[in-house]
Amino acid sequence: MPDFLPPPDGTGLAAKLAEARELMATLDLPRPLAARLHRQFIAICDAVKAAGADEASGERRLAAFLATLARVGEKTGEQGNEQA
């Protein structure tokens, strides 16, 4: 996935999307679960950039997705794909 730079203030929707992408990368998940979460992330990205998209709705969807990632991370207890 190509890297992109969110606004420097770090509070915008782009920064939160980057946070979600980085969090997904740190989780060591079974392939089916990782694929499902990735599809959800892509759906959020697509919805946010669609013509006439409502930013508040995108923020809510992304917040719910970040909460899901946090729960998944707690359940697996495994964070860190960068194992040595």
Question: 82: pLDDT confidence band, cut at 50, 70 and 90?
Answer: very low
pLDDT tens by residue, 20-79: 999 999 999 999 999 999 999 999 999 988 888 888 898 999 999 999 999 998 887 755
Domain extent listing, the chain: 30-72
Q: Which residues share a beta bridge with 55?
A: none
**Six token digits for residue 63:** 């917040």
This prediction's pTM: 0.73
Residue 4: pLDDT over 80: no
pLDDT for res 84: 34
**Six token digits for residue 26:** 């740190």
pLDDT for res 81: 46
Q: What distance in Å separates the CA atoms of residue 48 and residue 14, rounded to the nearest whole number?
A: 10
Torsional sign, CA 13, 39, 35, 71: positive
Q: At what angle do helices 55-76 and 13-26 cross, to 10 degrees?
A: 20
